[in-house]
Structure 1
Amino acid sequence: MENMLGDYTNILVAVDGSEQSEHSFKKAVAIAQRNKAKLKAVFIMDTRNVATSSQFTSGINQDFFNDVDTSFVDELVRFAKDAGVDADKTITNGNPMTLIAEAFPEEFGSDLIVIGATGKGAITRALVGSVSNYVVKHAPCDVLVVR
């Protein structure tokens, strides 16, 4: 059936390095191919759980984030480009809920957000579940939660 509501042009996909997020990214690539859409991969270091004591934060900030391996994001972007999709990435830190649901869609003009239903590890899974719920409730555009 023809997509009567028009095509997606700007797809935002949240990734975290888990198998689930790789699966949702590949699904987003397929949607981008069909719609000739741009794809933006976003990886957000969740800083909600990092203690905010300034003495602790100043020591942890840069080194903490430099130790996180984000090369998988480059591999995903390369996969998308090899598939003929115009793709790029944003790597940042902050609150994934509000960034994915509100700030990024506005900044990038996203008309579809693709997000995995679960993420890395049991604790993250609880957080990611709440992230996908939040995104579904607050996003200004369509949201695809990938199981």
Structure 2
Amino acid sequence: MHTMNVILVAVDGSEEADYAFETALPIAKSQGSQLIVTQVINRNAYRPLSNYDSSLIGEVENKARLLLDKYKKQAEEFGITDVVTDIEYGSPKTAITRDIVPKYNVDLIVTGATGLNAVEKIFLGSVSEHITKNADCSVMVVRL
């Protein structure tokens, strides 16, 4: 059986992302894997609003840090010793497959089937669909 040395969970604060994270925990623990928990912040999505409130991006970053810290603590309490949190910027679709996967030499991506960005899904297709088609590693898409 192929060992999954590095498992990536992409989160966005959605219930599906929580479920993806919870699904990844026993896999990472049983494999002795490094667990990477990442959130990709799409600054372009906030750009029109940031003209009115310049602190908006900072608030989004702080919220992401708090969320990732929560996930890291949960993973460590579950018994996973090697947990890395990572905030990236850009389109989640491309950042995950083009930047994050090679950065950490990821063996498995665990992601929710849907997330918070319904508008992007309508016009551009889902993030999970893009990851499945473009990732150079195995992908597990979980549903609630």
Task: Give the TM bin, normalised by the shorter chain.
Answer: 0.7 to 0.9
Q: Once structures 1 and 2 are overlaid, which stretch shifts more, 124-133 or 94-103?
A: 124-133
Show structure 1 runs of 5+ residues with no match: none
**What does the per-residue CA deviation read over 1:34-72, in whole Å, with 9 as the maximum and x for residues that have no partner?**
1000000001112343458xx94xx74xx2221121212
Given that residues 88 and 95 in structure 2 are in contact (C-alpha distance below 8 angstroms), is that contact kept between their aligned partners in structure 1?
no
Instruction: Determine the C-alpha separation between the residues in 2 that align with 1:136 and 1:30.
Output: 21
RMSD of equivalent CA atoms: 2.4
Shift of 1:98: 1.0
Q: CA deviation at 1:88?
A: 1.5
Relative to structure 2, which stretch is displaced further, 65-74 or 34-43? 65-74
**Which deviates further from its counterpart, 121-130 or 25-34?**
121-130
Structure 1 window deviating more from structure 2 (109-118 vs 63-72): it is 63-72
Please list every run of at least 4 consecutive aligned residues from structure 1 whose deviation after the TM superposition is greater than 4 angstroms.
124-129
| Bigger radius of gyration among the two | 1
Q: Give the fraction of aligned pairs with identical amino acids, expressed as a percent.
A: 33
Equivalent positions of 1:15-94 (< 5 A) are 15-51=11-47, 56=51, 60=54, 63-68=55-60, 69-70=63-64, 71-85=66-80, 86-94=82-90
Going from structure 1 to structure 2, the CA distance change for 1:126 and 1:80 (only over 3 Å counts) comes to: farther
Distance in 1 (alpha carbons) for counterparts of 2:7 and 2:124: 19
Q: 1:104-123 alignment to 2 at 5 Å? A: 104-120=100-116, 122-123=118-119
Q: Secondary structure at the match of 2:45?
A: coil
TM-score by length of 1: 0.83
Structure 2 unaligned residues grouped into runs of 5+: none
